[in-house]
Structure 1
Amino acid sequence: MTVYRIALIGFGGVNRALAELIAAKNQLWERDLGFRLNIVAVSDLYFGSVISPNGLDAKTLVEANFAKGGFGQLSGGSSEADNETIIKNAPADIIVEATFTNPKDGEPAVSHCRWALQTGKHVVTTNKGPVAFAAQELKALAKANGVGFEYEGSVMSGTPVIRMAEKTLAAAEVNGFEGILNGTSNFVLGRMEGGLDFASAVKEAQQLGYAEADPTADVEGFDVRLKVVILANELLGANLKPEDVTCKGISNLSPADIEAAAKAHSRWKLIGSAVRSDDGRVACSVSPKQLSLDHPLAGVNGATNAVSLNTELLGSVTITGPGAGRIETAYALLSDIVAIHNAHSSVTAKEAA
């Protein structure tokens, strides 16, 4: 049985949810998956940082009501975050990166991943920034150092669109996609169909926890643009940066636009799309589109995400599932750890043979 020592970078909703799962399901994973997880370090801007080579009790981490700088009360702890020291020096096998996404350059998360890979540690992340801005560099670092770099949760939270497309549709010849890749904007459009104006719909989304205090990244399409870059590069062999993708959000849609669409038996959706032409070039965009009601994405409501993959052999294949949520996103991290475990086990078995 394998024990993976993990360091959590960021202890907000997602990594806290992963700690909850570890506290509740480690024995189940040991039985069904062949490994268990041991948290040996945590670093967080609010709580500080702590290293414990023998492991930290996951249940205590989750249930203790730490104040600001509260990790300083723990043995081996400090009231200050120290991401670089934790990543480089903690006795961890896997760095779990779940800090905020910077839509301008992906930092500091890009550096977090780079430090980990350079020091021979696996990386799993839900952060869109490192994947959208530096995936090629980070993949090369991972390969050079014999470790894994996994990021399933960077596009649709726990819904496995990347791994699904690469593993199960490998021979179907994916040549494009279009998707609803932001639950906040989708919720806002749904509430506008229900009669609210844009500002009121955004306010309701904030009250329900779907939208941040500053909803710009969601409603102006910047979040979707990062996800489009990730999918285009990963599935279509593109080499795009976020600035290569045209981007328009939903803030200019009026109640009149929504009403006109309904009369035309259609509805507005914020769509991220990409298509690969015969010469290999990939064109991408993010913009509101008026979809007929029989379109496979037209019925995707609320905070749900969906992507329709256009394939040569199967036609359109649509994957629908949760695009957000603490536990759902923590599951994506777990699925990445499973992928690393399976790859490591396969290599070990080959070496033994």
Structure 2
Amino acid sequence: MNIAFIGFGGVGQALAEILHERQEKLEQEYGLKAKVVAVADKMKGSVYHPDGLDVPQLIQSVREDGNIEAYSNAETYGLDSIQTIKDTNADMIVEVTFTDVQTGQPAIEHCETAFKHGKSVVTTNKGPVALKLEELQALADENDCFFGFEGTVMSGTPALRLPKTTLMGNDIKEVVGILNGTTNYILTEMEKGFSFNQALKQAQEYGYAEADPTSDIEGYDVRYKTAILSHYVMGEAISALEIPCEGIREMTQDMIQEALGENKHWKLLARIKKTPHGIEAAVGPEKISNDHPLASIQGATNAIMYDCDLAGPIMLTGAGAGLKETGFSLLIEMIHVQQSRTNNSFIVR
């Protein structure tokens, strides 16, 4: 598997390190011979060598010089992202660029270009999946390519693969989840007595929240994840912008303490439910009782519950962010593709 990274920030570097560190294990246990042949990053530059790049040296160049092109053993320098996808010998594109979630660009164009040239894609970008899943999947299928996006909802925690594999045969009637670690961390700290602003500042200091936390605290991040779950797990496409959405910006200490006095907890929840009229989805803060399984989820942790007709309620919890965890979500897709090729078996989509 020849790999090209489109974008090489923290997640891309984490995956490259995993592939290098576990090279022998991946080949012996899964038959995955992964070779990084190209990297293109809008800010850091690009390098390509058809025989493979030296990953430790590449990462050292980035971290010491902030410039991929400080790497000295490439055959070609300066390709842009589209050229890297089209003109290199990569057959797997790792799309981890900074993407505008409202437009899905530039990730959508990168995915389309890859599929049209017979190259598979794994990505952690929510935009393309929330906005154009059906079209992109059709294009991938038409060109016999794989489209992997496990990391778009709960990073390395398999919120998409679980219902499509382990829970096969069930009718999933409802999905409820805590899908944003930043907001769950803020609400947890507020229960300890911190104000909203104090908890937000602490989340930013720990790296859970961005300098501009709007997407998290207004619920927009969860809204796009909800759209992905609705389409992929529940089988009905809903525009993210049509999903009612309320964040936690208006949450006060009085509200938090009142809930605690009622043996309840405030959580920012995504809900997707089957009704006689179709799928209903919403994002917003809810008070849930102490005995609700999601009430015990603390800090920057994510969790999701699937209400199954045969298996009953199934809950999955784990990290919803983190460089290595997100890198893992991309790795598991690559292993899945490799095993499917080796065994000539079906690929779960």
Partner Cα distance (2:70, 2:79) in 1? 10
Residue 272 of structure 1: aligned partner? 270
Residue 211 of structure 2: aligned partner? 213
| Conserved 8 A contact 1:186-1:269 | yes
| Paired residue type of 1:235 | V
- Deviation for aligned residue 1:58: 1.1
| Paired residue type of 2:232 | E
* Partner residue of 1:304 out of 301, 305, 308: 301
**Gap runs ≥5 in structure 2:** none
* 1:240 equivalent in alignment to 2:234: no
2:165 aligned counterpart, secondary structure: helix
| Conserved 8 A contact 2:302-2:319 | yes
**Gap runs ≥5 in structure 1:** none
Write out per-residue CA displacement over residues 102-124 of structure 1, whole angstroms, 9 at most, x where no aligned residue: 22111111111111111100101
| Conserved 8 A contact 2:58-2:71 | no
Residue 261 of structure 2: aligned partner? 263
Residue 199 of structure 2: aligned partner? 201
Distance 1:142-1:284 versus aligned 2 partners, 3 A rule: same
| Paired residue type of 1:26 | Q
- Deviation for aligned residue 1:67: 2.7
The root-mean-square deviation of aligned C-alpha atoms, in Å, is: 1.5
User: Structure 1 length as normaliser, TM-score?
Assistant: 0.94
**Within 5 A, what are the aligned runs for 1:144-293?**
144-279=142-277, 281-293=278-290
| Conserved 8 A contact 1:158-1:330 | yes
Residue 49 of structure 2: aligned partner? 52
| Conserved 8 A contact 1:46-1:81 | no
| Paired residue type of 1:45 | K
| Paired residue type of 1:330 | G
| Conserved 8 A contact 1:198-1:254 | yes
Write out per-residue CA displacement over residues 285-314 of structure 1, whole angstroms, 9 at most, x where no aligned residue: 000001101101010011111001111112
| Conserved 8 A contact 1:49-1:72 | no
* Identical counterparts, % of pairs: 40
- Deviation for aligned residue 1:196: 1.1
Distance 1:182-1:81 versus aligned 2 partners, 3 A rule: farther
Partner Cα distance (1:45, 1:232) in 2? 32
Distance 1:250-1:7 versus aligned 2 partners, 3 A rule: same
* 1:21 equivalent in alignment to 2:3: no
Residue 107 of structure 2: aligned partner? 109
Partner Cα distance (1:224, 1:266) in 2? 22
Residue 127 of structure 2: aligned partner? 129
Partner Cα distance (1:49, 1:169) in 2? 42
User: Structure 2 length as normaliser, TM-score?
Assistant: 0.95
- Deviation for aligned residue 1:327: 0.7
1:328 aligned counterpart, secondary structure: helix
Stretches (4+) displaced over 4 A = none
| Paired residue type of 1:24 | E
Q: Which moved more, 1:95-104 or 1:106-115?
A: 95-104
| Conserved 8 A contact 1:44-1:81 | no
Partner Cα distance (1:328, 1:212) in 2? 18
* Partner residue of 2:60 out of 63, 66, 80: 63
Partner Cα distance (2:223, 2:324) in 1? 24
**Aligned pair count?**
344
* 1:6 equivalent in alignment to 2:3: yes
Write out per-residue CA displacement over residues 325-345 of structure 1, whole angstroms, 9 at most, x where no aligned residue: 111111100110011112222
Write out per-residue CA displacement over residues 224-263 of structure 1, whole angstroms, 9 at most, x where no aligned residue: 0111110110111111111121110000011111111110
Partner Cα distance (1:194, 1:220) in 2? 22
- Deviation for aligned residue 1:11: 0.8
- Deviation for aligned residue 1:77: 5.0
| Conserved 8 A contact 1:47-1:66 | no
| Conserved 8 A contact 2:47-2:68 | no
- Deviation for aligned residue 1:23: 1.7
